[in-house]
Amino acid sequence: MTINRRALLTRSAALAGALALSKQNAIAKALEQTGLKELYQDDFYLGTAIGHARLTNPPTGFNALVAREFNALTLENDMKWERVHPQPEQWVWEYADKFIALGEQHKMFMVGHVLVWHSQTPPWVFNDKNGNPVSREVLLARMKSHIDTLAGRYRGRVHAWDVVNEAVDEDQGWRQSPWFKQIGPDFIEHAFHYARAAAPDAHLMYNDYNMHNPGKRQCVVDMIKRFKQTGVPIDGVGMQGHIGLGYPDITEFEKSIKAFAAAGVAVHITELDLDVLPTAWEHIGAEISDNFAYADELNPYPDGLPAKIEAQLAERYAQWFALFLKHRDSIARVTLWGTGDSESWKNNFPVRGRRNYPLLFDRDYQRKSAYHSVAALRK
């Protein structure tokens, strides 16, 4: 049977319309029920991260769903240096402004991500016009100017900032980033001082992944104590929370919560997602430069999760949220790194082209078993 092009386009348009209506109906159904933020309102802020696509072109009802479920909001990428300040004299405010407007509309706790990071920072920041590394003094001046402009623009409107991101490597020493090499380890202290001056009322955080690692934990604890002794204004530590069905050891994660709280800062779970796919060559973490070749055995659920894995995901989420509730006096916020599975970076990291299921809502924004297991802890 042959189908002419007009018939094919008509059929495709009808199918697209049906799928869009189905997603809108799913979101509308979810909105009829009590959101997680109400269930956890006496415990900690409950947040999500919003990416460029959902910020600029959300499905019908998406913003209302986010507002119903969450009371904290992080912008996934568009406040990072390469997006918001791609050239020395160029600033791109459109998306950050839209993010702020969305959060303020719904009276959310707003998180700025991120002021100083080695990754997703354009080369011009670290180099001169000839491609040579700039001096300590020049790089500090660029850091200060960036923080003054970005944090200053949203002064009083962004309630917490990830000031420095991922400055400790997996060997529990300082990451040998351009910030470290060209300035020295005190680049972190300068960043926090600049941030306090630009945003005096904001909650200032150090943020990192694999914070359950005992060596990394101790390195960060030592840093916090030193900062407290020397007057560096640090208020919180962000534990990113990129976890899986079999890792990390939850008891080690709990030790880190206790250690950071004991050092005198608030604990934030900043980028929570739960990977259900096989690890790629024992890769665990969030080093975004890592990249592994696709293989079918690393993408075992292209058509949906088996019931057994769905149940494991729900049980694992309940286990982690039970831990957060146990330490709610130390935890200020728990933020999911995305709302629905289709948005998650875990579909492409560290292997592009996989289909992952790491969040509480599915690709049609219906509540998953994992969502209900988290909700059940507070009902």
| Gap between the Cα atoms of 372 and 147, Å rounded | 40
Residue extents of the structural domains in the chain? 10-376
The pLDDT value recorded for residue 4 is: 37
The pLDDT value recorded for residue 21 is: 57
pLDDT beyond 80 at 290: no
Question: pLDDT tens digits for 12-35?
Answer: 444 445 545 555 666 666 556 789
In this structure, of 137-141, 177-181, 285-289, 328-332, the range with the lowest mean pLDDT score is 285-289
DSSP string, 359-373: SSB-TTSPBPHHHHH
pLDDT beyond 70 at 145: yes
pTM for the full predicted model? 0.88
Average confidence score pLDDT of the chain: 91
**CA dist list (Å): 214 to 135, 221, 254:** 34, 10, 11
Provide the percentage of residues in the chain whose pLDDT is more than 70. Answer: 88
Comparing 30 with 325, the larger pLDDT belongs to: 325
The pLDDT value recorded for residue 295 is: 81
Catalytic residue among 69, 76, 189, 271: 271
The pLDDT value recorded for residue 207 is: 98
The pLDDT value recorded for residue 279 is: 79
The pLDDT value recorded for residue 117 is: 98
Catalytic residue among 69, 76, 166, 343: 166
Q: Is the peptide bond before 214 cis (omega within 30 degrees of 0)?
A: no
In this structure, of 40-44, 149-153, 344-348, the range with the lowest mean pLDDT score is 344-348
Q: Is the peptide bond before 114 cis (omega within 30 degrees of 0)?
A: yes
The pLDDT value recorded for residue 347 is: 92
- As a CATH number, domain 10-376 is 3.20.20.80
Residue 63: name the closest of 8, 14, 103, 118 by CA.
Answer: 103
**CA dist list (Å): 97 to 33, 63, 89, 159:** 30, 16, 18, 15
Question: pLDDT tens digits for 107-139?
Answer: 999 999 999 999 999 999 999 999 999 999 999
- Our answer to whether residue 271 is catalytic in this structure is yes
Residue 111: name the closest of 147, 158, 44 by CA.
Answer: 158
Confidence of residue 3 (pLDDT cuts 50, 70, 90): very low
3-state secondary structure of 319: helix
Comparing 173 with 72, the larger pLDDT belongs to: 72
Comparing 96 with 287, the larger pLDDT belongs to: 96
The pLDDT value recorded for residue 282 is: 55
The pLDDT value recorded for residue 359 is: 98
pLDDT beyond 60 at 10: no
- Our answer to whether residue 166 is catalytic in this structure is yes
- Distance from chain centroid for Cα 49: 6
The pLDDT value recorded for residue 291 is: 56
Task: Find the DSSP H helices in the chain.
Answer: 5-31, 36-39, 52-56, 62-69, 81-84, 94-105, 136-153, 178-183, 187-198, 214-230, 250-262, 307-326, 369-376
Question: pLDDT tens digits for 41-86?
Answer: 999 999 999 999 999 999 999 999 999 999 999 999 999 999 999 9
Residue 329: name the closest of 260, 232, 231 by CA.
Answer: 260
